[in-house]
């Protein structure tokens, strides 16, 4: 049994965060550099070509390796300088925003990566909106400074104007692209010089920006520009505020290059100093503090077939309070039944290690035979409470699916069921013919679904895409009477609740105008 002092010490060590970005901004590269610093991998390297032998460490699913994109959130745990770090590497592609959204609700802070050449891009804006709505502290890493990009002041202005958050540069670049020489750390009063070989040396301490050694190494013109920029930041820029950082109103900004590892160690050291340890979380019975004796946590993700050889299923548990101990008893709030948590695991991409103890902020994998659902709350006593359901995104694309071979029906239904429980697809049945309809947020999910059904369940799929764009849960006693085959279609979800699919915005507006007394809901 963990005593209270030990529990508090473990909580202080924890940093649990997600990394978000637009595709190709360098998210997976930065993740691997952090793992490299933590001694978890011996070499790094994200790849795009399916011909290459090297793949991103955090991209564990076979299709991720072939396509060079992240399609599912990865969880990685490691220790660094007295801290226990839990990284949740999220999909950058917009098609996987539902998985990303749930992941963002399981972290205490977020690292946002911005491409220095492209600035704030569409997916960054979409994910930032989720982070901002929940007041999650956010740190910004402006990447690819060793390539030609936009002016740093212009990038700061865009962050503030487009995202509506105050920025505070923790360091400042000396040059850009081919003239990039390094960064000046405003807090440490030190300069870190860029090494093209990626072998970063200790930052050089300087007395001030007039230090002659600085001009000798970086050149007079670049140092003059640095002096002007820093003076402007000091006089007209924001003042650093820990309170604004913790409430998500101000973002510390760091400049560097993930691919060459430049600025990454400095960023990580600052991040560990500034980022919050696990925070209290609201429940149906009030605020739950992490250092409370009673264990609690919630399921934010379910993943099937992380080990295809065993056809397993894992539920990802974020610990909120108390201590997780192997073999402990906990109560599932949704059913009121007790469970023995005997097979907890910590993750490194697709690798796993059994865990004897885990603490608030940690992400533990629980073997799942169908017991858990996304949003479930587990409590280490009979006095259960709930952390609330996790939201869902309404699908925007639909298709009727079936197995090409009738003899594969059993495997087909098992695959559909398991993949739907992950939350990446939503499953419906047609009202009259009992056909399977799947709904997804983005079209690429159809391809992922087909690939996984073939690779993990050995089922070839027949797709019939549908013209519908909106799903709305309908609350009426006789939903069949409201079906207009031209404008909408009636299906039932897995709980046999009626859902209307609409072909376009006009069809949805037309139905609302004709049936003002019938409630329509976007989510379950």
- The region of weakest confidence among 96-100, 207-211, 273-277, 469-473 is 96-100
**Confidence class of residue 312 from pLDDT cuts 50, 70 and 90?**
confident
CATH number, span 281-379: 3.40.50.300
Tens digits of residue pLDDT in 227-252: 999 999 999 999 999 999 999 999 99
Which residues, in sequence order, are bridge partners of residue 104?
none
**Predicted pLDDT of residue 23:** 83
- How far apart are the C-alpha atoms of 177 and 161, rounded to whole Å? 24
Task: Average the pLDDT over 466-488 and give the result.
Answer: 88
- How far apart are the C-alpha atoms of 118 and 149, rounded to whole Å? 7
**Beta pairing, strands 498-502 & 488-493:** antiparallel
**Predicted pLDDT of residue 485:** 72
Total residues found in the chain within this entry: 524
**Predicted pLDDT of residue 196:** 63
Q: Which residues are annotated as a binding site?
A: 21-28, 89-93, 143-146
Task: Average the pLDDT over 407-413 and give the result.
Answer: 96
Kindly tell me the sign of the dihedral angle through the C-alpha atoms of 468, 471, 472, 473.
positive
**Confidence class of residue 47 from pLDDT cuts 50, 70 and 90?**
very low
Domain 397-521 sits in which CATH superfamily?
Peptide chain release factor 3, domain III (3.30.70.3280)
**Beta pairing, strands 363-367 & 328-332:** unpaired
**Predicted pLDDT of residue 197:** 60
Tens digits of residue pLDDT in 324-352: 999 999 999 999 999 999 888 887 655 67
pLDDT at 97 over 60: no
Task: Average the pLDDT over 385-411 and give the result.
Answer: 92
What fold, for 14-274? Rossmann fold (3.40.50)
The gap between the terminal CA atoms of the chain, to the nearest Å, is 40
- DSSP label at 335? T
pLDDT at 413 over 80: yes
- How far apart are the C-alpha atoms of 504 and 472, rounded to whole Å? 12
- How far apart are the C-alpha atoms of 70 and 61, rounded to whole Å? 9
Q: Which helix (H) or strand (E) holds 190?
A: strand 190-193
- The region of weakest confidence among 31-35, 212-216, 441-445 is 441-445
The average confidence (pLDDT) of the chain is 88
Residue spans of alpha helices (H) in 315-365: none
Task: Average the pLDDT over 490-495 and give the result.
Answer: 92
**Predicted pLDDT of residue 41:** 78
Tokens of 426: 């939503």
Model confidence pTM above 0.75: yes
Q: Where in the chain is the domain with CATH 3.30.70.3280?
A: 397-521
**Predicted pLDDT of residue 51:** 37
- The region of weakest confidence among 43-52, 227-236, 321-330, 405-414 is 43-52
In contact, 431 and 490? CB cutoff 8 Å: yes
pLDDT at 147 over 90: yes
DSSP calls for 465-502: E----EEEEE--S-GGGG--TTTEEEEEETT--EEEEE
Q: What are phi and psi of 45, to 5 degrees?
A: 155, 110
**Predicted pLDDT of residue 394:** 81
- The region of weakest confidence among 198-207, 238-247, 250-259, 279-288 is 198-207
- How far apart are the C-alpha atoms of 371 and 125, rounded to whole Å? 36
Task: Average the pLDDT over 369-375 and give the result.
Answer: 91
Task: Average the pLDDT over 497-511 and give the result.
Answer: 94
pLDDT at 294 over 90: yes
DSSP calls for 29-51: HHHHHHHHHTTS-S-------TT
In contact, 86 and 361? CB cutoff 8 Å: yes
With a pLDDT cut of 90, the percent of the chain lying above it is 62
**Predicted pLDDT of residue 304:** 78
- The region of weakest confidence among 57-61, 143-147, 151-155, 336-340 is 57-61
Tokens of 150: 């936009």
Which residues, in sequence order, are bridge partners of residue 313?
304
pLDDT at 203 over 90: no
**Predicted pLDDT of residue 348:** 67
**Beta pairing, strands 286-288 & 281-283:** antiparallel
Q: Which residues are annotated as a binding site for GTP?
A: 21-28, 89-93, 143-146
- Which residue in the block uniquely carries the two structure tokens 């990447």? 143
Tokens of 511: 């139905």
pLDDT at 370 over 70: yes
Q: What are phi and psi of 423, to 5 degrees?
A: 90, 0
- How far apart are the C-alpha atoms of 349 and 356, rounded to whole Å? 19
**Predicted pLDDT of residue 93:** 60
Number of H helices, E strands in the chain: 13, 31
Closest CA to 135 of 245, 239, 240, 238: 245
Q: Where in the chain is the domain with CATH 3.40.50.300?
A: 14-274, 281-379
pLDDT at 67 over 60: no
Exposure string over 88-120, b if 16+ CB within 10 A, otherwise e? bbbbbbbbbbbbbbbbbbbbbbbbbbbbbbbbb
- Contacts of residue 12, Cβ cutoff 8 Å, sequence gap at least 6: 277
In contact, 374 and 299? CB cutoff 8 Å: yes
- How far apart are the C-alpha atoms of 56 and 330, rounded to whole Å? 36
């Amino acid at each position: 049994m963990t005593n209270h002092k030990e529990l508090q010490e473990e909580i202080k060590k924890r940093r649990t965060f997600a990394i978000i970005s637009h595709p190709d901004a360098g998210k997976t590269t930065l993740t691997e550099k952090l793992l490299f610093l933590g001694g978890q991998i011996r070499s790094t390297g994200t790849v795009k070509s399916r011909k290459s032998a090297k793949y991103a460490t955090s991209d564990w699913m076979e299709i991720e390796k072939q396509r060079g994109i992240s399609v599912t959130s990865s969880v990685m745990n490691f220790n660094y300088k007295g801290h226990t770090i839990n990284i949740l590497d999220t999909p950058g592609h917009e098609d996987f925003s539902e998985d990303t959204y749930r992941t963002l609700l399981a972290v205490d802070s977020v690292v946002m990566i911005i491409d220095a050449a492209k600035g704030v891009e569409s997916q960054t804006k979409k994910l930032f909106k989720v982070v901002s709505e929940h007041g999650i502290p956010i740190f910004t890493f402006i990447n690819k400074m060793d390539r030609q990009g936009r002016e740093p002041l212009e990038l700061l202005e865009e962050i503030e104007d487009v995202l509506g958050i105050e920025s505070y540069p923790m360091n400042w670049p000396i040059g850009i692209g081919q003239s990039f020489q390094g960064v000046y750390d405003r807090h440490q009063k030190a300069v870190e010089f860029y090494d093209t070989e990626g072998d970063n040396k200790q930052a050089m301490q300087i007395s001030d920006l007039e230090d002659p050694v600085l001009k000798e190494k970086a050149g007079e013109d670049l140092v003059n520009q640095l002096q002007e920029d820093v003076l402007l930041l000091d006089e007209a820029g924001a003042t650093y505020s820990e309170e604004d950082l913790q409430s998500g109103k101000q973002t510390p900004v760091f400049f560097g290059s993930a691919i060459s590892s430049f600025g990454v160690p400095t960023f990580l050291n600052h991040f560990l100093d500034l980022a919050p340890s696990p925070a209290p979380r609201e429940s149906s019975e009030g605020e739950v503090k992490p250092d409370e004796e009673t264990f609690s946590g919630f399921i934010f993700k379910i993943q099937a077939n992380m080990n295809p050889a065993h056809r397993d299923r894992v539920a990802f548990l974020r610990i909120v309070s108390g201590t997780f101990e192997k073999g402990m008893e906990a109560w599932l709030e949704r059913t009121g039944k007790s469970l023995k948590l005997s097979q907890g695991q910590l993750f490194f991409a697709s690798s796993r290690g059994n865990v004897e103890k885990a603490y608030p902020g940690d992400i533990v994998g629980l073997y799942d035979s169908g017991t858990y659902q996304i949003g479930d709350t587990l409590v280490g006593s009979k006095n259960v409470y709930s952390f609330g359901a996790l939201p869902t995104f309404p699908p925007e694309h639909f298709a009727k699916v079936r197995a090409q071979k009738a003899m594969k029906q059993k495997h087909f239904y098992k695959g559909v069921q398991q993949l739907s429980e992950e939350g990446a697809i939503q499953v419906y049945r047609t009202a009259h013919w009992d056909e399977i309809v799947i709904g997804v947020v983005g079209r690429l999910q159809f391809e992922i679904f087909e690939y996984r059904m073939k690779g993990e369940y050995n089922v070839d799929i027949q797709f019939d895409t549908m013209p519908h764009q909106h799903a709305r849960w309908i609350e009426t006693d006789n939903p069949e009477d409201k079906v207009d085959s031209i404008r909408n279609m009636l299906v039932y979800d897995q709980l046999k609740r009626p859902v209307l699919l609409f072909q376009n915005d006009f069809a949805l507006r037309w139905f609302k105008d004709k049936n003002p007394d019938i409630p329509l809901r976007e989510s379950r």
